[in-house]
Amino acid sequence: MTRQIKQRWYSGHEILNMGVKGFELLEAVKGNKLIPHDKYTGKKVVYYDTLPRRQLTLEEIETLVPRRISQAPPPISPLPSAGTTIKYRAKSRPVDIKATAKWIYENEKPEIPILPNDYIMDRFTLESVKGFIYTADEITFFLTILNPEPQPDIAPLTDQNTTLAPLETTRVSEDAAIMDYDSFIKGAKISYKSDIEIEIQSSKKPPRVYSFKEFGFKNPQNKGWLVVVQSLKTGFFSVGPFVKGEKNAEYDRRQKHLAVCEQKLRIFFKQEYGLKIPDDFKFFRLSHDEPPGTYKPIFSIAKSDLDNFEAKCKRLSDQEIKAEINGLIQEAVKDGIGQAKKNEIMTKFNILAAEARRRGIVNLVTGRDNQEENPDLEIGRDAPEDGGDESLLE
């Protein structure tokens, strides 16, 4: 009798041949449902965007400035007018590397991801995840979740002698549903988890973590989402004082951000919790006990696990900070860790890294030169500023 050998590894191309769509494979890898491995070395591959980061030191930037200058495009000269004699003359002047590096360090504050030993990082595109390999057990579990077995139909628990009440007498009245939204929202407890996630506890559902995307925001720098984050951190959101007869662009802009936040919250609670919230309902009310222009949420702000973490970091020694950072890195790349936990780890890492920078601690990760392991190093990549970019209202 011939023994059938089960295949231990499958590539992303083979998974697609099993009927899985490309976007399903990509989302499974990004969501940590499938752990990719490099087919040549067997090393695990981690998502570039989820890795903790550290700021480059001034010395590291000085070594990268020449490469940045050499990769810069040549300047574009204006076209000469007709009849002009063109004279070519090389114009160049030496670049002060130390001064340039200092400016980059103070203004751009470039960062690089921290990659633990025996791991490879990737930005996870459809083409890249198709080239990785995955274990058979993980694929089996993933396919079970993706294509669950159909459940048998369950007959209603009625017989010939049972009479069902009319629908109108068993349905909750619309007036009661409308009146319920106010007490529900006031009774909800919302807590800050990270700059991209919050947790909601309510009487209707178990506690659950939601990201900015589930509130309809395109990115975590959206001004409406920042209203939510700031209010959970501080307990309020301020638009500043209003002076009658005077124009105040900053006041008008912050009022607009608050209005966007209110609209997104109404839509979210309508869809997620089935509340019949009127369009003029406000989640934030003007407080008359605080400085002018201070708005406070009507929902309760639950204490976050991260509230005391920053204070704890200030009490740690330099060696303890290094140990905490290395522990978080190892925890972030464990198998089966959820995205919510990853975001919490990254938030803690950023707090620790900020404290380390304040003390001037270098070489945060033991036994590794992160600059050499990062072939995709970029200095001065674009990042949204906290200015008046109204495109972030979308």
If you ran DSSP here, which 8-state letter would residue 336 be given? T
* Residue 21 CB partners (closer than 8 Å, separation 6+): none
Distance CA 232, CA 240 (A): 18
Beta-carbon neighbour count of residue 75 at 10 Å? 6
Q: What is the pLDDT of residue 372?
A: 40
The pTM score is 0.43
User: Do β-strands 237-238 and 284-286 pair in parallel, antiparallel, or remain unpaired?
Assistant: unpaired
Q: What is the pLDDT of residue 87?
A: 53
Q: What is the pLDDT of residue 173?
A: 42
If you ran DSSP here, which 8-state letter would residue 215 be given? G
Residue 210: name the closest of 272, 259, 283, 146 by CA: 272
Q: What is the pLDDT of residue 128?
A: 92
Q: What is the pLDDT of residue 294?
A: 93
Q: What is the residue-level pLDDT of the chain in tens, covering all 394 positions?
A: 333 436 788 999 999 988 888 988 998 888 778 889 998 888 889 888 777 778 888 888 888 877 666 655 555 555 555 555 555 554 556 678 888 888 888 888 888 888 777 788 898 999 999 999 998 888 887 787 776 554 344 344 344 443 444 434 333 444 444 447 888 898 899 988 888 889 998 877 788 889 999 999 988 889 999 999 999 888 899 998 888 888 888 999 999 999 999 999 999 999 888 888 888 899 999 998 888 899 999 999 887 666 677 778 888 888 888 888 888 888 877 777 776 677 778 778 878 887 888 888 766 554 444 434 343 333 333 333 344 444 444 4
Beta-carbon neighbour count of residue 218 at 10 Å? 13
In DSSP terms, 251 is beta-bridged to: none
Give the HSE-up count for residue 41: Cα atoms under 13 Å, Cβ half-sphere: 7
Domain ranges of the chain: 173-301
* Residue 313 CB partners (closer than 8 Å, separation 6+): 321, 324, 351, 352, 355
- Cβ atoms of residues 345 and 331 within 8 Å: yes
